[in-house]
Amino acid sequence: MKIAVVILNWNGKELLESYLPSVTQFSDDAEIYLADNASTDDSVTFVQTKYPAIKIIQNESNGGYAKGYNDALKHIKADVFCLLNSDVEVTPNWLHPIIETFHAFPKASIIQPKILDLKKKDHFEYAGAAGGFIDQLGYPFCRGRVFQVLEKDEGQYDDVKEIFWATGACMFIKSDLFQELGGFDEDYFAHQEEIDLCWRAKNAGHSVYYVGMSRIYHLGGSTLSNMNPKKTYLNFRNSLFSITKNLPRRKAFVVIFLRLILDGVAALRFVFQLNFKHCFAVLKAHLSFYRHFGKMYRKREKANFILKYYATKSIVWSHFVHQVKVFKGLVKD
């Protein structure tokens, strides 16, 4: 199985200096690529000089995460693409459990490893943790991470498990599936495009897995922190995009209606917290969704839509009303 580890970069020399050493040291079973999104710093020169074995693909523009990978992966021949953030430290033997899982589960087309916090290594990291799920209204959460609550890693998720979505911080995907799906939706620019991709894959009959014996550490927030209003805007808007594209028509309209109401509640909560920039980010997200609704609706998959897409009915109700803080309180794992 030929694996290509592809790291997307934009003006990230400092991150590459810190985290490329582990990738080059522990990835003997893969070819490593740097996909550069038209950087204006000297990160490309740094890699060419320090790591001449790494192959470099230079994109013509910074099209964000989605377009950046779509453009770069057209130039790479491999059985499996590993899309790896530039702020990730990998560990010895991180690739072997992934390869074994692809062989053991023929329907496994997308896989993610265990994602731990580089700054607090005994805790899960926000972006992906131990595998992603969504609730009935399309709100994402993870084993090991519910909203801002991050669990300590005590081996509770050292398993191989089918999940709903794999994180874009470290996603292994079969190249033929990536091409079949047309890659990421470039209208997302960044954030939650991996949820959409996994949802489309599951609608097409493929499976997504988590492998707990493969472990990496993610710095997180190196592109946009959780406190950045632009991230709020992209997350709220792109979640509505995914619902529009990937649910049966009648179900989609019901969920969108309820989501718009709950998003309004979230905007009011930001007002009470005096986070006015985040409130405006939610409103901006809705306006963008309305503008793009027709386009998103036309992208709906022709495959049979899966009806059991959610792991719990409402993570918002469970977390904020019933004060459920961890995954096992939400779902019988």
The predicted pLDDT at position 224 comes to: 52
Give percent of the chain with pLDDT exceeding 70: 98
Q: pLDDT digits over 52-70, tens only?
A: 999 999 999 999 999 999 9
Phi/psi at 193 (5° precision): -65, -25
Angle at 50 between CA 44 and CA 52, to 5 degrees: 80
CB 60 within 8 A of CB 10: no
The predicted pLDDT at position 307 comes to: 86
- More confident call, 224 vs 327: 327
At residue 195, does pLDDT exceed 90?
yes
Residue 41's pLDDT band (cuts 50, 70, 90) = very high
Q: pLDDT digits over 218-254, tens only?
A: 998 645 556 789 999 999 999 999 999 999 999 999 9
Sign of CA dihedral 303, 305, 310, 315: positive
At residue 271, does pLDDT exceed 80?
yes
The predicted pLDDT at position 226 comes to: 62
Using left for φ > 0, alpha for ψ between -120 and 50, and beta otherwise, residue 155 falls in: left
**186-200, 220-234, 273-287: segment of lowest average pLDDT:** 220-234
Q: pLDDT digits over 295-319, tens only?
A: 999 998 776 799 889 999 999 999 9
- More confident call, 266 vs 301: 266
Residue 328's pLDDT band (cuts 50, 70, 90) = very high
Span(s) in the chain for CATH 3.90.550.10: 3-218
The predicted pLDDT at position 277 comes to: 96
Q: Stretch 255-273: mean pLDDT, rounded?
A: 96
Q: Count Cβ neighbours within 10 Å for each residue of 106-123 and write b for 16 or more, e otherwise.
A: eebbbbbbbbbbbeeeeb
The predicted pLDDT at position 310 comes to: 96
**Mean residue pLDDT across the chain:** 95
Q: Stretch 272-277: mean pLDDT, rounded?
A: 95
For the domain spanning 3-218, the CATH number is 3.90.550.10
d(CA 209, CA 302): 24
CB 196 within 8 A of CB 185: yes
Q: pLDDT digits over 73-98, tens only?
A: 999 999 999 999 999 999 999 999 99
d(CA 149, CA 102): 31
The predicted pLDDT at position 34 comes to: 98
The predicted pLDDT at position 220 comes to: 84
The predicted pLDDT at position 159 comes to: 98
Query: In Å, what is the CA distance from 311 to each residue of 130, 172, 182, 202, 302?
Result: 14, 22, 27, 14, 24
Using left for φ > 0, alpha for ψ between -120 and 50, and beta otherwise, residue 147 falls in: left
Q: pLDDT digits over 114-154, tens only?
A: 999 999 999 999 999 999 999 999 999 999 999 999 999 99
At residue 182, does pLDDT exceed 70?
yes
Q: How many CB atoms lie within 10 A of CB 103?
A: 9
At residue 294, does pLDDT exceed 90?
yes
